[in-house]
Amino acid sequence: MSHFHTIFRLAGAILLGLFLMACGGSDSDEPSVPLDTVRIACNIIDSVSGAAVSGATVTFQSGTSEFSTVADSKGNCELLLPSAQVAGTVFPAASVEKEGYEPQTILYRELEAGTSNSQQVQLVPLAENVSVPLGGGIVHHLGDNRFEGSVNAQFQKASDGGELAFVIEDWAQKVQAGYTRATVYVDAKGWQTSECDNVISLSGDAGIASLPGGNSPPDGSWAGGKQVPFEFAIAQVGTQRAEVRFNAGICRGAVVDLDDFEINRLRVYFD
């Protein structure tokens, strides 16, 4: 065999190996997992410095259960979840929280029994003009647990009720700093305000400012975030206290049926 053919075959083998690694084709990258288990693993880093972030809380909700762990000194996390509770749900999400950072989401297309699922997570340092409402960093389900169709056919947790409120603990400090507008960002799944009377509000000592809720993709995936701002004038809300409220509305043509949707990664930007 010629020297040229030898080099060509070697290069082809290297490219094939790289392709398989990129597609997850190497079994050595992930540990073996029993069929009754789903493994979630992550490596958490600072989005600015690239340094490992230790002590972050990683949470996954399923039905009425909640599973959580804390990242180690190298920013690594691991959750071993029962397949019977978590496998099969489309577009499930885990949540990552750490004081001094914006909450982050780990998204999946679907978790399958007996699989290991690893991702790197980049946490964004919390800026002075950003607040994370109390309890807003994890998945919540609004509605009456009566749902069907591709938009919201599969939620990962049971309903928390038709209305939820999240206190903005440092609201008064933000007002004193001179900010005049608060913009709420949230990730949402199954939100169908085009068909249902959903409302998002800021409620404070001066009153309540309300806006129609949002609309999620028809395939049942998560969306929203920085692409869908909900802007409120601080003067309409108050100077001392405030909370973000979500209300699941009655859907068109229904007498008692509320829209069901999930929210995650709630943040408030001030300017």
| pLDDT tens for each residue of 197-252 | 999 999 999 999 999 999 999 888 999 999 999 999 999 999 999 999 999 999 98
**Residues 125/126/128/133 CA torsion (nearest 10 deg):** 180
**pLDDT of residue 27 exceeding 70:** no
Q: Are 187 and 223 in contact (CB under 8 A)?
A: yes
Element (H, E) at 14: helix 3-22
Residues 99 and 52 in one domain: yes
Query: Which amino acid, residue 200?
Result: I
54-59 LR contacts (CB < 8 Å, sep 24+): 55/98, 56/96, 56/97, 56/98, 56/101, 56/121, 56/123, 57/96, 57/97, 57/98, 58/94, 58/95, 58/96, 58/106, 59/94, 59/95, 59/96, 59/97, 59/138, 59/139
Residue closest to 68 by CA, chosen among 98, 28, 90:
98
pLDDT band at 39 (very low <50, low <70, confident <90, very high): very high
Task: Please report the pLDDT score of residue 5 as a whole number.
Answer: 38
Q: Is residue 11 part of a domain?
A: no
Worst-scoring range by mean pLDDT, 34-48, 77-91, 143-157? 143-157
Residues 210 and 245 in one domain: yes
Residues 104-125 have pLDDT tens digits of 999 999 999 999 999 999 999 9
Residues 202 and 238 in one domain: yes
Task: Please report the pLDDT score of residue 148 as a whole number.
Answer: 63
**pLDDT of residue 22 exceeding 70:** no
Task: Please report the pLDDT score of residue 19 as a whole number.
Answer: 33
Q: What domain count does the chain have?
A: 2
Q: Are 266 and 244 in contact (CB under 8 A)?
A: yes
**pLDDT of residue 1 exceeding 60:** no
Residues 188 and 135 in one domain: yes
Residues 101 and 143 in one domain: no
Buried/exposed 37-46: b ≥16 CB within 10 Å, e otherwise: bbbbbbbbbb
Residue 150's domain comprises: 130-270
